[in-house]
Structure formats: structure tokens, C-alpha cells
Amino acid sequence: MPTPIATAVPVTHTGILGLGVYRPRRVVPNAEIVDAIDSSDEWIRTRSGIAARHWAEPDETIVGMSVAAARDALTAAGLDAAEVDVVVLATSSQMVLGPSAGAVVATELGMHDTAAYDVSAGCAGFCYALADAANLVRSGQARNVLVIGVERLSDLLDTTDRSCAFIFADGAGAVVVGAAEQEGIGPVAWGSDGSRTSAIKQDKDFQEYFAEVAAAEASGGTSVRPYIRMNGTEVFRWAVTFLEKACRDALDRAGVAASDLDAFVPHQANIRITDALIRTLGLPDTVAVARDIIETGNTSAASIPMAMEQLIRSGGANPGDTALLLGFGAGLAYAGQVVHLPPIA
């Protein structure tokens, strides 16, 4: 007979205990970028809803922004870094393959022997990481989990690319997930469609780039670094035709009706996608909708925690309110869950 193996002691309920964000100092209005892409402030606002975005200065690194957001999240949760067992960091713009940014952030926060890893799921990354965290706590594998979404997408932008130079931005958001008296994080509805990878992607992989560099060095020619590219029309069509089902799946799994929601916090991809989802879901006017994209742009894995914080800080929603989160983007991947909004620092 096999030797018995003990299991962790599960907890009944999980919740988001605290939320913090970091917004880079530099604000870039549309007027600052329109000449390079032969566009206008009016066109950008009409097509995306964006009026400005934050781009990080050299000293505002992935690790530094993450640490700042994490400290505020811990403060809001009333916890010390020593009480965190796992760090899960979602990003698509960490410029090294290893070590994980999560491990470095944990050390910068003064944690010791803390499990840490990164998640790469594009703009859905925060909701993927949140699902991981909830399951770790629920199963008894961790007491508290620090979840971070962070990006420096300005590092990956071709500032002359009219399709996406005005879209992407930088920032960080963090939450602490732990045990709660009642359920505060619903079951995740998630998935991906790898047949649509070309919709949002790095335009060349590093093997291709290194070969290009070697050829340029041999011939005296030039090479072009990799950039992020996006087919906005394809992403928009996929979003407005498919994401209603993702939202309804998340609501059904949580046992919550759209009319029960206090707030809707979608990934801040495009204000027209947000408006389309409001219509297809039939959300009542009483539901507060996050529109952080107007002043923050699309911060990919950081957008949902940053939009949550802005919605709460502005008074549009309150801690404890019931909200639907929906992340979606490169992959194409999506993830959504119903949560109770957390306190902020």
C-alpha cells in the first residue's frame, strides 16, 4: 500500500484584501505623438478614447514600479511583506528571460524564501494571476499571495507605427489575495485561441533578430529591433463578438446576474470595446464602468488593477462592491471573474 501523503488544509473563502498602483511620472498627451504617426488628437480619441498615457522614465523599471504598487497594496491590506507566501507577477515587457521579475520584487520587498514566478498571458495576465492566487489560497498552499500586473510597453513601441503607437502605456497595479469571511473572488472563466496570435504580437522573435544583427554586422548593413504590432480591426471584431460569452460565463460561475453588479472593470483596450460590451451585456446605468484608458492608455497586464483603483478613488465604486473583471488580449487570451472590490491605500 502506498505511503499516505498529507494534504494542505484548504480555506473556504478568498478575497482581495488590498490594492495599490504606480503611475509613471511622465504624462504624454496625444498632441505629443500625433506628428510621428500622421494623426490627430480627435482621431485618437474617436478610435480609442485615449487622451493621454503614462510612459516610464529610465528609473521607473518593471521591478521598481512593481515594488511601489505592492507596498501600497500591503498597506491597504494591513499586512507586512513577511506575511506573503507567494508573489505572482504578470507582464509582457520584462526585458530579460531570467530571473523572474517576481523573484526580484520579492527580495526588494524584504521577503525571504518566498515563492515567486511570472505569468505571461498578455493583457489577460492579471486575471490569470488572480485566478492562480485565489486557487493557491483556497487550496491551503499559501496564506497570502501578492499579485502584480506591470508593464513598460513604451520600450516595445515603434513610435511611428500608426496602428499602436498611441495605444500602449506603462504602469503597475498590485493586490493581496488571502482568506476572507465570505467569497470575494469567483471562479475564473478563461481560455485562449492560438490561431489568432498574429493579432497582437512581437513582430520578430529573438532568433530572427540575432540572425539579422549578425548579417548586418557581416555586411555593414543595419538591423531593426523587435517591436509590438497589433491588428486593431481583428482584435476589435474578436472582442465584440466573443467576449460577451466570456463575461456571461464568469457571471454564471459566480452565480451573479448582470443586474447584480455594482461595477464593470474590463481591460482598458479601447473605449469602443467597453461600450460594445456594456450594450451586449445589457448593463444598467447603475453599474459603474472603469474608463481609466482615457488618461492612462492601454497598460496591458496592469490595466485592470489600475482601472479598479481609479474607479474606487474617484468615488465611482466602493470597497466591497461586486464587480466583473475581464482581461483579454495577446494570445488571443481572456480571463474574467466576479470579485468584491478591495480597499485602496
**pLDDT tens digits along 83-125:** 999 999 999 999 988 899 999 999 999 999 999 999 999 999 9
Question: What percent of the chain has a predicted confidence (pLDDT) above 70?
Answer: 100
**Burial (CB count within 10 angstroms: exposed 0-12, middle 13-18, buried 19+), residue 319:** middle
Asked if 236 and 105 sit in the same domain, the reply is no
- Is residue 319 domain-shared with residue 255, that is, in the same domain? yes
Q: What pLDDT does 304 receive?
A: 99
Q: Are 69 and 20 in contact (CB under 8 A)?
A: yes
CATH of the domain at 44: 3.40.47.10
Residue 152 three-state SS: strand
Q: Which three cell numbers stand for residue 217?
A: 554586422
Q: Do 169 and 26 fall into the same domain?
A: yes
* Of 146, 95, 87, 72, residue with least CA distance to 118: 87
Rounded CA separation 241/199 (Å): 15
* pTM for the full predicted model: 0.96
pLDDT tens per residue, range 275-301: 999 999 999 999 999 999 999 999 999
Identify the domain boundary among 147, 179, 211: 179
The C-alpha atoms of residue 170 and residue 296 are separated, in whole angstroms, by: 8
Q: What is the pLDDT of residue 16?
A: 99
What is the sign of the dihedral through the CA atoms of 255, 259, 265 and 270? positive
Instruction: Give per-residue pLDDT as tens, 231-246.
Output: 989 999 999 999 999 9
Task: State the alpha helices, DSSP H only, in the chain.
Answer: 41-48, 62-77, 101-108, 125-138, 206-219, 232-254, 271-281, 293-296, 303-313
pLDDT of residue 274: 98
Distance separating alpha carbons of residues 287 and 317, to the nearest angstrom: 9
* For residues 20-41, average pLDDT: 98
Catalytic site residue 123?
Answer: yes
Whether 253 and 145 map to the same domain: the answer is no
For residue 327, the SS3 value is strand
Q: Are 339 and 180 in contact (CB under 8 A)?
A: no
pLDDT in the model for residue 97: 86
Q: Are residues 139 and 39 in the same domain?
A: yes
Of 121, 149, 179, which residue sits at a domain end? 179
Q: By residue range, what is the domain housing residue 305? A: 189-196+229-341
In this prediction, residue 337 carries a pLDDT of: 98
One domain, residues 170 and 22: yes
Q: Are 174 and 345 in contact (CB under 8 A)?
A: no
Report, as an integer, the average pLDDT of 3-28.
Answer: 96
The answer to whether the peptide bond before residue 130 is cis (omega within 30 degrees of 0) is: no
- Would you say residue 152 has pLDDT above 90? yes
Residues 6+ apart with CB under 8 A from 130: 16, 147, 175, 177, 185, 188, 325, 337, 339
127 is catalytic: no
**Are 171 and 57 contained in the same domain?**
yes
pLDDT mean across residues, the chain: 96
Residues 159 and 272 in one domain: no
Q: From the candidates 123, 127, 164, 247, give the one annotated as an active-site residue.
A: 123
Q: Quick one: what percent of the chain has pLDDT higher than 90?
A: 94
| 140 falls within a domain | yes
Candidates 146, 139, 150, 173; CA nearest to 16 is 146
Q: How confident is the model at residue 218 (pLDDT cuts 50, 70, 90)?
A: very high
Which pLDDT does position 1 carry in this prediction? Answer: 86
| Residue 80 is assigned to a structural domain of this protein | yes
DSSP of 186-229, one letter per residue?
A: PPPEEEE-GGGGGGEEESS-HHHHHHHHHHHHHHT-------EE
Cell 497589433 belongs to which residue? 230
Q: Is the pLDDT of residue 132 over 90?
A: yes
Please indicate, yes or no, whether residues 279 and 154 belong to a single structural domain of this protein: no
Catalytic-residue membership of 298: yes
Confirm whether 220 is domain-assigned. no
* pLDDT class of 150 with cuts at 50, 70, 90: very high
Number of domains in the chain: 2
Whole-number Cα distances in Å, 130 to 79, 178, 205, 327, 342: 18, 11, 28, 11, 13
Supply the pLDDT for residue 267: 98
298: phi then psi, degrees, rounded to nearest 5: -95, 110
Kindly report the length of the chain: 345
Q: Are 307 and 268 in contact (CB under 8 A)?
A: yes
Say yes or no: 168 and 103 in one domain: yes
Same domain (yes/no): 114, 263: no
Given 30, 127, 164, 267, the catalytic residue: 267
- Cβ burial of 108 (10 Å; 0-12, 13-18, 19+) is middle
